[in-house]
A and B are shown apart, each in its own frame.
With several copies, the nearest count.
Chain A
Amino acid sequence: MIQVMYFAWVRERIGLPREKVETSAGTVRDLVEELAAREARYAAAFADLSALRVALDQELADFDAPLDGVREVAFFPPMTGG
């Protein structure tokens, strides 16, 4: 069971800020494919991975990173702080 979080327009497009996901996905990319297959709003949010960033347990990561032991996955657009 992984906590999946969404921020900014990813959150708005999917329509919720976080959810528990039961998955056996090996990598972030596998998880993205599972989510995108669920419903159109997920497919829309994950349509262009180059427009997305991912963090695993609050550290920036690649879409090819493994999910072993990861408790929290977050998807969001490039940051725009400052």
Chain B
Amino acid sequence: MTVRVQEETFDIGAEAGAFAVRAGGQAGAVVTFTGVVRDRPGGGLREMVIEHYPGMTERALSSIEAEAVSRWALTDSLIIHRFGPLAPGDQIMMVATAAPHRADAFAAAEYLMDYLKSRAPFWKKEIAADGAEWVAARDEDEAALHRW
């Protein structure tokens, strides 16, 4: 069970590989989710800046992770979230879950994502040629919490 909040990028490849190796012969199923900075539909995104609340961020992520571990039979889990300025195509964050069975690994990864989206103190600002704008929370993201 690992939570990392960092400005520097991460190697999704190396992380996923290390995670799978660590899960070893115990877990049959490893799920990863990676969030990538998406350009705007018409292009033009210059950068995305992620602000967070140091201290609370780690607490919130650890508590979300602990809840997932209590709900599903996981052998391991990982949350990495970046902050600071990012470019389109950059990785923002990843979660990974390992479990004996795939249903647990998938459900836990979706749960981590849903809570991380709406309950961890991160805010995204899009900087484009025509101005800067804080990304608005989506109703669907709040609604997604009700399924758990």
Q: How far apart are B143's CB and chain A's nearest CB, in angstroms?
A: 13
Query: Complex Cα distance A8/B135, Å?
Result: 10
Q: Contact at B56–A82, with CB atoms within 8 Å?
A: no
A38 CB, nearest partner CB in chain B, Å: 23
Chain A interface size band reads 10 to 19
Q: How far apart are the CA atoms of A55 and B117 in the complex, in Å? A: 16
A-B interface contact total, Cβ < 8 Å = 72
Q: Judging by beta carbons under 8 Å apart, are A78 and B137 in contact? A: yes
| Chain B interface, >50% SS class | mixed
Instruction: Please measure, in the bound complex, the distance between the C-alpha atom of A59 and the C-alpha atom of B62, giving whole angstroms.
Output: 12
Question: Which of A55, A78, A82 makes the CB contact (< 8 A) with B53?
Answer: A55
- Name the A residues within 8 Å of B137 (CB-CB): 77-80
A residues less than 8 Å from B98 (CB atoms): none
Does A69 sit within 8 A of B, measured CB to CB? Answer: no
Collect the chain A residues with CB atoms within 8 Å of residue B23's CB.
Answer: none
Confirm or deny: B27 has a beta carbon within 8 angstroms of a beta carbon on chain A: no
Determine if A79 and B59 form an interchain contact, defined as CB atoms under 8 angstroms apart: no
Q: Is the pair A82, B122 in contact by a Cβ cutoff of 8 Å?
A: yes
Which A23-82 residues have a C-beta within 8 angstroms of B?
55, 58-60, 74, 76-82
Give 28 CB contacts A-B under 8 Å: A5-B53, A7-B51, A7-B53, A8-B51, A8-B123, A9-B134, A55-B121, A58-B59, A74-B56, A76-B121, A77-B123, A77-B134, A78-B137, A78-B142, A79-B117, A79-B118, A80-B122, A80-B124, A81-B52, A81-B93, A81-B116, A81-B122, A82-B35, A82-B81, A82-B92, A82-B116, A82-B117, A82-B120
Q: Which residues of A contact B (CB under 8 A)?
A: 5, 7-9, 11, 55, 58-60, 74, 76-82
